[in-house]
């Protein structure tokens, strides 16, 4: 059961050689959700051998260029490579106008159905739901209307114990009811309680993506207890006034939200290009919230975060915590 986040870009408005603008790919049991799509996202997907034709849902937080400039290129490549399955985009309404204009200007008629779902400007609601996951938007406090996203995995059905099924001769057509928690009554009328013939499946996981935003305590209840919170930390604490002026957060802000919300793990990103050594931001954040990770990789390393059933975050063995000369690996 996969619940895996791949970081494709972690910088703020201006990309650098080592750091791309914001983009993430969330794999929930082999369903792929692209979260923001900054410049160069499709190249990053190819670098990590991630098949972007498997992406069916794209969530764009807001219309500052570092969060969506890569989208039309990705759509174009999907088209040129013969995509025919649906693509769903969730964003503020103005993005549809931009996409329509770009497609019209290039005289492009897509091979595949493109569905646009408008995110409300001033309210929060369920954006997407299927049998395995739900996605809601959360309002963020930025210089432009901006939404975060909460991905909540649904609780899996209970797992049937094969030896018990055989022991009690339970017919196949009863499996679904038993997975849902039903007891089994045998031919003699004896009740076999569900806990004897099943075990709990993996726990449901949650991920909150809170990109460009000022410090906002309203977020605390909305992200409370999530397995992984991504919260932007554009600046160090010493630039708190600059953060307020630009509608962004500091390391102190991100850590404080994480601590008060009692999240399990914090991932920081959206770093200002002024910082070459990101260790400083990590250290400052960890002073308040210990379980903090940098949204950064070294060239050639895989940037995948994997949330396992024990509800702790694991970073695969190729992931580098910083891009400084000393590389810390998990």
Enzyme catalytic residues? 66
Task: Give the residue among 44, 35, 57 at the shortest CA–CA distance from 8.
Answer: 44
Q: How far apart are CA 48 and CA 11, in angstroms?
A: 18
- Find tokens 């190249």 and name the residue: 43
Task: Give the residue among 243, 208, 249 at the shortest CA–CA distance from 227.
Answer: 208
Q: How far apart are CA 231 and CA 266, in angstroms?
A: 7
Neighbouring CB atoms inside 10 A of 259's CB total 14
Q: Assess contact for 4 and 306: CB atoms under 8 A.
A: yes
Dihedral sign (CA 135, 25, 39, 116): negative
SS3 (DSSP) at 87: strand
**Residues linked to residue 128 through DSSP beta bridges, in sequence order:** 135
Q: How far apart are CA 37 and CA 2, in angstroms?
A: 22
**Residues linked to residue 206 through DSSP beta bridges, in sequence order:** 152
Q: How far apart are CA 5 and CA 19, in angstroms?
A: 17
């Amino acid at each position: 059961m996969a619940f895996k986040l791949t970081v494709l870009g972690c910088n703020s408005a201006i990309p650098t050689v080592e750091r791309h603008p914001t983009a993430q790919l969330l794999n929930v049991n082999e369903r792929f959700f692209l979260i923001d799509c900054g410049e160069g996202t499709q190249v990053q997907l190819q670098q990590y051998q991630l098949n972007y034709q498997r992406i069916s849902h794209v969530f764009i937080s807001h219309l500052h260029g570092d969060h969506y400039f890569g989208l039309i290129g990705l759509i174009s490549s999907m088209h040129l490579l013969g995509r025919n399955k649906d693509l769903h985009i969730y964003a503020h309404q103005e993005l549809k106008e931009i996409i329509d204009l770009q497609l019209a200007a290039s005289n492009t008629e897509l091979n595949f159905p493109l569905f646009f779902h408008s995110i409300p400007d001033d309210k929060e609601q369920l954006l997407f739901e299927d049998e395995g996951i739900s996605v809601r938007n959360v309002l963020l406090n930025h210089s432009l209307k901006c939404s975060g996203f909460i991905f909540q995995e649904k609780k899996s059905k209970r797992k049937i114990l094969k030896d018990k099924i055989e022991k009690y001769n339970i017919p196949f057509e009863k499996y679904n009811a038993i997975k849902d928690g039903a007891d089994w009554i045998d031919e003699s009328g004896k009740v076999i309680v569900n806990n004897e013939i099943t075990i709990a499946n993996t726990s449901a996981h949650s991920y909150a993506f809170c990109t460009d935003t000022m410090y906002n305590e309203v977020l605390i209840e909305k992200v409370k207890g999530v397995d992984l919170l991504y919260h932007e930390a554009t600046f160090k604490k010493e630039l708190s006034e600059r953060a307020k002026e630009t509608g962004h957060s500091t390391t102190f802000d991100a850590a404080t939200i994480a601590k008060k919300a009692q999240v399990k793990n914090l991932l920081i990103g959206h770093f200002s290009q002024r910082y070459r050594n990101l260790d400083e931001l990590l250290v400052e954040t960890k002073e308040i919230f210990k379980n903090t990770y940098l949204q950064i990789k070294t060239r050639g390393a895989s940037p995948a975060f994997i949330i396992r059933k024990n509800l702790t975050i694991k970073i695969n063995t190729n992931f580098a915590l910083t891009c400084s000369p000393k590389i810390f690996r998990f």
